[in-house]
Amino acid sequence: MLRDNLLFIHVPKTAGTSIAHALLDTLVRHKRCKSGLTKHSTYNEYKTALPKLDFEKDILKFTVIRNPYDRFFSYYKRHIGAKRSSHCPNIIRRHVLAPHAPTGSPRSRLRKSEKLKINFSMWVNDHYVKLERTPNEYVPKKVNKNIYKYYFGEYENLDCILLFENLKYDWISFVDDNSGFRWRQRGRRQRGRHKGGKLPTLNSSKGGKKRVCGFSYVYYDNETLKIFEEYNKEDIDFYFSEIMNREDLGDHLKETMLKLPKNTALIDLKSLIEIHTNQLKQKHRGVK
């Protein structure tokens, strides 16, 4: 989404609908449609559709990123597991799985979370890989591998990256640092500094209920995790590097955000995070 000199790259399931609503006005919506762009257009698609703009000098490019494991599972739960047929392409809708149960176990005795884990695992193992091998126009924008790199072109193309898990405070800082634009605060508009306004919570899978970072780890079994990490290693490295490089995050929040799944195969990244976490603990204890 492009507004004034701001370009927002909207990656699915990263609170992008809330950001877009805060920036949206009628003229921008009209311009976006005329240019053939959509709310999930990539950085390269914006550059192609708007060749007269100097994206290096005139445009402030920003986005929101989220724990890749949580983002992927959140997309699955909302658009595949929930069987929202109006939002799913035929290639995915044909493979939406009804609740399955292990042999000899009545389906009625399974908890909802257990059914979800089974369905998620089956979809990833049976269909996610196939979608990657034979993508259509819809699939790459939703479930493609290394989705952040796909949207940004290169990670370095962004001027500002907000964190989904710290969005309340990252948004305040972003508005304060760029006080020349107008934005909506739950139906109102304010110019300049934040003044206590909040982003609206829109298009949330749980109606705005706050989730702990890493909530999705329990739904990844060994095989599912292996496939996801193989397809998204660059994005995972990028996300956790961003966390480690953020000096403004509180130590407790940082430690929470730096947790990986227990059965992760990314040993190098796990070791790097352990070193960084130990340094945070020593700092917190006052040990130099």
Rounded CA gap, 62 and 57, in Å? 14
Evaluate if pTM is beyond 0.85: no
DSSP category for residue 247: S
Looking at residue 66, what is its pLDDT? 95
DSSP reduced 3-state for 3: strand
Closest to 53 (Cα-Cα) out of 45, 64, 41, 65: 45
* 178-219 pLDDT per residue, tens: 765 655 554 444 443 334 456 656 656 554 445 688 999 999
Per the prediction, the chain carries an average pLDDT of 76
Looking at residue 30, what is its pLDDT? 45
- Mean pLDDT computed over 165-172: 90
| Alpha-carbon distances of 181 from 5, 60, 226, rounded to whole Å | 9, 12, 43
Looking at residue 11, what is its pLDDT? 92
More confident residue, 237 or 110: 237
DSSP category for residue 145: S
Instruction: Express as a percent the part of the chain with pLDDT over 70.
Output: 65
* 49-108 pLDDT per residue, tens: 888 888 888 788 999 999 999 999 988 888 776 553 333 444 344 444 334 444 444 444
Rounded CA gap, 161 and 215, in Å? 22
Looking at residue 287, what is its pLDDT? 54
Looking at residue 82, what is its pLDDT? 59
> What are the DSSP E strand ranges found in the chain?
2-3, 6-9, 60-65, 160-163, 182-185, 188-191
Q: What is the largest CA-CA distance in the chain?
A: 64
| Alpha-carbon distances of 73 from 145, 218, 228, 244, 270, rounded to whole Å | 13, 11, 10, 23, 21
Looking at residue 144, what is its pLDDT? 72
- Mean pLDDT computed over 14-21: 84
Rounded CA gap, 256 and 277, in Å? 10
